[in-house]
Amino acid sequence: MKRIITRRSFIKGAVTAACSIASTSSFARAASALKSGEPIATLLDISKCVGCQECVYACKESNQAKYPKPEKPFPKMYPSTVKAEDWSDKTDVVDRLTPYNWLYIQSATVEIDGESRELTIPRRCMHCQNPPCVKLCPWGSAIQLDNGISRIDSDTCLGGAKCQTVCPWLIPQRQTGVGLYLDLLPAFAGNGVMYKCDRCYNKIAEGEMPACIEACPENVQTIGPRDEILKQAYELAVSMNGYIYGDKENGGTNTFYVSPVPFEKINEVIEKGKGKPHFEAVADTMKTGNNLALSMVVAPVAGVAAAFAKFYATNTNRDDKKNS
């Protein structure tokens, strides 16, 4: 898909520029919240999105320097069933998530008040509150910042793609031929580096807005402290008689989609598959493990109790024998 700058989007751009000057003060307020390091979240008002893809291209432009620069030819990998994943010749793909495209626009034709309408929905990493991609990475290469942002360190990621497998939305995307695995055992372990939205963590650290938020002419996204944004999301949902996705999914995320139609409906009609996340209900993936963690606190107590029980039993046995 090529970017076409239409007159409409040009005018829109000009309007946005004017609006962004007008809303500098609210930006400044959000910025100070972002800088403080407390958990931040975004609210996406789906009803506002016009699908212009300004956000998509802003993300690409802003994060260009972070994109993979793979070395070719790729080292041979064993067993031969291990496939290289190469997106370096398809960097302009924008209709799904790729290592070179961390945000894309999903579309859903739904019925609202008896009228057919096309909803366009920006999709990227949800930034889960307790992200399995981070917590289950065997190397600590996927990291979570105190402000709730999760990102993958491209210097240490080996590209085993476990983060993708454990992510309920299969968000992280792999590029072969880049990263630390090349310096270790490229034939036998690793397969590149995983990439995904990093919430423009570097911009946020400077108190700046993520590129996609800044670029949106319709102000689809609002960013700020999580509790405040969540409150806003609920208020918005009530006002439009709508629905929220992301507040409870996977035990809670830092991304709240608000829609005028139920997400089950949206999920039925969107294109799903590789690099195209669903809108299904998602249970807390870390819950089982974290419930089991309690057993590790109980275990030593049980062990000590068992040892005392045995000690007592042995001694009473001895005493009984002595007395009889």
Partner 1 sequence: MALHEKLITYIYTTIFLFLTITGFAQMPIFKRYHIADIPGLGWLAEFYITHAMHYIFGAVLIGLVAYLLVEQIAAGKHEKRLTKSGYTKGVMLIGLIVTGGLMVFKNLSGTPYSPIIVSILDLTHLAFCMALLFYSTFTLITKKGWVRYPIKDIVTKRIF
Q: Which stretches of the chain bind ligand SF4, using CB under 6 A?
A: 49-55, 59, 62-63, 102-103, 105, 120, 122, 124-128, 131-133, 150, 167, 169, 171-172, 196-200, 210-212, 215-216, 218, 220
Which one of ligand SF4, partner 1, none is in contact with 288 (Cβ closer than 5 to 8 A by kind)? partner 1
Of 26-34, 134-142, 200-208, 225-233, the segment contacting partner 1 by CB under 8 A is 134-142
Per rule CB under 8 A, is residue 302 in the interface with partner 1?
A: yes
- Based on CB atoms, which residue is closest to ligand SF4, 77 or 200? 200
What does 226-276 look like in DSSP terms, one character per residue? Answer: HHHHHHHHHHHHHHTT-EEESSSGGG-BSEEEEESS-HHHHHHHS--BTTB
Contact between 303 and partner 1 by CB under 8 A: the answer reads yes
Asked whether position 145 contacts partner 1 by CB under 8 A, the answer is yes
What is the smallest separation between the CB atom of 297 and ligand SF4, expressed in angstroms? 26
80 binds, among ligand SF4, partner 1, none (CB under 5 to 8 A by kind): none
The reply on whether position 306 binds partner 1 by CB under 8 A is: yes
Exactly one of 20, 88, 107, 156 binds partner 1 (CB under 8 A); that residue is: 156
Locate 89 and state its tokens: 């010749």
DSSP conformational letter for 110: E
Please give the Cα distance from 65 to 70 (Å, whole number): 13
CA separation (Å) from 288 to 62, 141, 163, 212? 38, 23, 18, 35
> Mask of contacts with partner 1, 211-240, x by CB under 8 A?
------------------------------
175's tokens: 């590029």
Rounded least distance, CB 11 to ligand SF4, Å: 14
Rounded to a whole number of angstroms, the CA Rg of the chain reads 25
Cβ 259 vs Cβ 131: under 8 Å: no
The Cα–Cα gap between 264 and 251 comes to: 18
Residue 126 binds which of ligand SF4, partner 1, none (CB < 5-8 A, kind-dependent): ligand SF4
Q: Which is nearer to partner 1, 10 or 138 (CB)?
A: 138
What single letter denotes the amino acid at residue 161?
A
Q: Which stretch binds partner 1 (CB under 8 A): 9-17, 198-206, 232-240, 308-316?
A: 308-316
- Inter-CA distances, 26 with 135, 233, 235, Å: 34, 17, 19
Beta-strand relationship, 173-175 and 255-259: unpaired
Look at residue 200 and give the partner it binds from ligand SF4, partner 1, none, a contact being a CB closer than 5 to 8 Å depending on partner kind: ligand SF4
Distance of CA 316 to the CA centre of its chain: 60
| Structure tokens given for 36 | 């403080």
**Residue 143 near partner 1 by CB under 8 A:** yes
Q: Can you read off the two tokens belonging to residue 190?
A: 């690793």
Binding site for partner 1 (CB under 8 A): 79, 81-82, 129-130, 135-136, 138-141, 143-146, 153, 156, 160-162, 165-166, 189, 251, 285-286, 288-290, 292-293, 295-296, 298-304, 306-308, 310-311
